Amino acid sequence: MSLTEMAYTNEFHHQRTQDNSCVARTISYLIHMKLSTLVFILIILLISIPLMMHYYVSQILAHQGQVAQKSHPLVTSMSLHSDSSSAHMKSRIDEMNRIKNSVSNELMQLEAKRNKLHQSIETYSSRIDELKQNLARLQLEYERLKYSVEQARATQREAAERDTPLLAMPRPLQPELGPRAPLPPPAAADARHCSLADCWDYSRCPLTGGFTFFLYRLEASGDADASRLHEALRSNAQWRPEAARVCAFVLVLGGATTPAELRRQGELADALRAGAVPVLLGEWPLPLDGPLDWRRAVLRVAEPRLPELHYLLRTLTDADILSYRRNGREFWEHYLSSAKAVADAVLTQFAERLELPPPPALGVKAGSAFNDTFQRLTVDVQLSSLDLDEYLGPIESPLASDRFQRNFTTPRLDTYARWNLFLAPHRLYPAVPYGDVLPAEAKFVGPRLGFRPVASGEGGSGKEFSEALGGNSPHEQFTVVMLTYRREQVLMSALGHLYGLPYLNKVVVVWNAPESPSDTLQWPSVGVPVEVVTVGKNSLNNRFLPFENIETDAILSIDDDAHLRHDEIVFGFRVWREQRDRLVGFPGRYNAWDTKHGGWHYNSNYSCEPSMVLTGAAFFHKYYAHMYSEWMPQVIRDKVDEYMNCEDIAMNFLISHLTRQPPVKVTSRWTFRCPGCPMTLSEDEEHFTERHKCINFFSRVYGHMPLLNTQFRVDSVLFKTRLPPDKQKCFRFI
Give the 3-state DSSP-derived string for 141-181, with helices as H, strands as E and coil as C: HHHHHHHHHHHHHHHHHHHHHCCCCCCCCCCCCCCCCCCCC
**33-42, 81-90, 437-446, 483-492: range with highest mean pLDDT:** 483-492
In a domain, 502, yes or no: yes
Is the confidence at residue 439, as pLDDT, over 60?
yes
Query: What are the residues facing 378 on neighbouring strands?
Result: 523
In 3-state terms, what secondary structure has residue 720?
coil
In 3-state terms, what secondary structure has residue 714?
strand
For 294, other C-beta atoms within 10 Å of its C-beta total: 20
Are 589 and 610 in contact by the 8 Å Cβ rule? The answer is: yes
Closest C-alpha to 713, from 582, 522, 561: 582
Are 19 and 110 in contact by the 8 Å Cβ rule? The answer is: no
Is the confidence at residue 202, as pLDDT, over 90?
no
- Give me the pLDDT at residue 5, please: 46
* b/e 445-456 (16+ beta carbons within 10 angstroms → b): eeebbbbbbbee
Of 161, 190, 216, which one is at a domain's C-terminal end?
161
Closest C-alpha to 167, from 356, 362, 360, 405: 405
* b/e 170-207 (16+ beta carbons within 10 angstroms → b): beeeebeeeeeeeeeeeeeeeeeeeeeeeebeeebbee
Closest C-alpha to 517, from 379, 371, 391: 371
pTM exceeds 0.75 for this model? yes
Q: Let me know whether 113 and 48 are in one domain.
A: yes
In 3-state terms, what secondary structure has residue 568?
helix
Contacts of 144 (CB under 8 A, 6+ apart): 391, 393, 394, 395, 500, 502
End-to-end Cα separation, the chain, in angstroms: 79
- Give me the pLDDT at residue 78, please: 47
Q: Let me know whether 608 and 508 are in one domain.
A: yes
Is the confidence at residue 214, as pLDDT, over 70?
yes
Is the confidence at residue 182, as pLDDT, over 70?
no
Helix (H) or strand (E) holding 484: strand 478-484
C-alpha to C-alpha distance for 411 and 378, rounded to whole angstroms: 47
- Give me the pLDDT at residue 701, please: 93
Question: Residues 519-529: what's their mean pLDDT?
Answer: 92
- Mean pLDDT of the chain, nearest integer: 83
- Give me the pLDDT at residue 683, please: 59
Q: pLDDT tens digits, residue range 542-596?
A: 999 999 999 999 999 999 999 899 999 999 999 999 999 999 999 999 999 999 8
Q: Let me know whether 120 and 252 are in one domain.
A: no
C-alpha to C-alpha distance for 717 and 729, rounded to whole angstroms: 8
Question: Residues 263-272: what's their mean pLDDT?
Answer: 76
- 647: Cα within 13 Å, side-chain hemisphere: 23
Q: pLDDT tens digits, residue range 500-517?
A: 899 999 999 999 999 989
C-alpha to C-alpha distance for 214 and 347, rounded to whole angstroms: 12
Is the confidence at residue 658, as pLDDT, over 50?
yes
Q: Let me know whether 345 and 392 are in one domain.
A: no
Question: Residues 33-62: what's their mean pLDDT?
Answer: 64
Provide the CATH number for the domain around residue 386.
Answer: 3.90.550.10
More confident residue, 197 or 20: 197
Q: Let me know whether 252 and 274 are in one domain.
A: yes
Q: Let me know whether 138 and 281 are in one domain.
A: no
For 577, other C-beta atoms within 10 Å of its C-beta total: 22
Helix (H) or strand (E) holding 501: none
Q: Let me know whether 594 and 569 are in one domain.
A: yes
Helix (H) or strand (E) holding 547: none
Are 381 and 496 in contact by the 8 Å Cβ rule? The answer is: yes
Of 353, 387, 411, which one is at a domain's C-terminal end?
353
- Give me the pLDDT at residue 489, please: 92
Question: Residues 155-184: what's their mean pLDDT?
Answer: 60
Of 297, 321, 353, which one is at a domain's C-terminal end?
353
In a domain, 329, yes or no: yes
Provide the H-helix boundaries in 32-187: 35-81, 84-161
- Give me the pLDDT at residue 152, please: 76
In a domain, 407, yes or no: no
Is the confidence at residue 180, as pLDDT, over 80?
no
Q: Let me know whether 276 and 331 are in one domain.
A: yes
Is the confidence at residue 488, as pLDDT, over 90?
yes
Give the range of the structural domain holding residue 211, as residue numbers without chain letter.
199-353
Catalytic residue, candidates 559, 561, 581, 648: 648
For 89, other C-beta atoms within 10 Å of its C-beta total: 15
Q: Let me know whether 92 and 234 are in one domain.
A: no
Are 4 and 60 in contact by the 8 Å Cβ rule? The answer is: no
Is the confidence at residue 606, as pLDDT, over 50?
yes
The arrangement of strands across the sheet holding 584-585 comes to: 367-368, 530-534, 504-511, 478-484, 554-559, 617-621, 584-585, 664-665
Is the confidence at residue 720, as pLDDT, over 50?
yes
For 224-277, what is the HEC assignment?
Answer: HHHHHHHHHHHCCCCECCCCCCCCEEECCCCCCCCHHHHHHHCCCHHHHHHCCC
Catalytic (active site) residue 19 = no
In a domain, 325, yes or no: yes
Is the confidence at residue 22, as pLDDT, over 70?
no
Q: Let me know whether 616 and 652 are in one domain.
A: yes
Are 437 and 578 in contact by the 8 Å Cβ rule? The answer is: no
Is the confidence at residue 3, as pLDDT, over 50?
no
* Domain count within the chain: 3
Q: Let me know whether 587 and 689 are in one domain.
A: yes
- Give me the pLDDT at residue 94, please: 84
In a domain, 321, yes or no: yes
- Give me the pLDDT at residue 349, please: 93
- Give me the pLDDT at residue 23, please: 46
More confident residue, 462 or 42: 462
C-alpha to C-alpha distance for 195 and 193, rounded to whole angstroms: 6
Is the confidence at residue 12, as pLDDT, over 50?
no
In a domain, 203, yes or no: yes
Closest C-alpha to 389, from 469, 462, 459: 462
Confidence of residue 206 (pLDDT cuts 50, 70, 90): confident
- Give me the pLDDT at residue 8, please: 46
Closest C-alpha to 625, from 705, 554, 534: 554
Question: Residues 621-647: what's their mean pLDDT?
Answer: 97
* Angle, vertex CA 529, rays to CA 527 and CA 530, nearest 5: 110
- Give me the pLDDT at residue 7, please: 46
Is the confidence at residue 603, as pLDDT, over 50?
yes
Are 486 and 516 in contact by the 8 Å Cβ rule? The answer is: no
In a domain, 729, yes or no: no
Confidence of residue 157 (pLDDT cuts 50, 70, 90): confident
Q: Let me know whether 213 and 330 are in one domain.
A: yes
600-603 and 588-593 strand pairing: antiparallel
Contacts of 22 (CB under 8 A, 6+ apart): none
More confident residue, 586 or 391: 586
AA letter at 282: G
Is the confidence at residue 80, as pLDDT, over 50?
no
Is the confidence at residue 268, as pLDDT, over 50?
yes
Confidence of residue 165 (pLDDT cuts 50, 70, 90): low
Q: Which long-range contacts (CB under 8 A, 24 or more apart) does 33-36 make?
A: 35/124
Provide the H-helix boundaries in 593-702: 622-626, 634-643, 647-659, 685-702
In a domain, 96, yes or no: yes
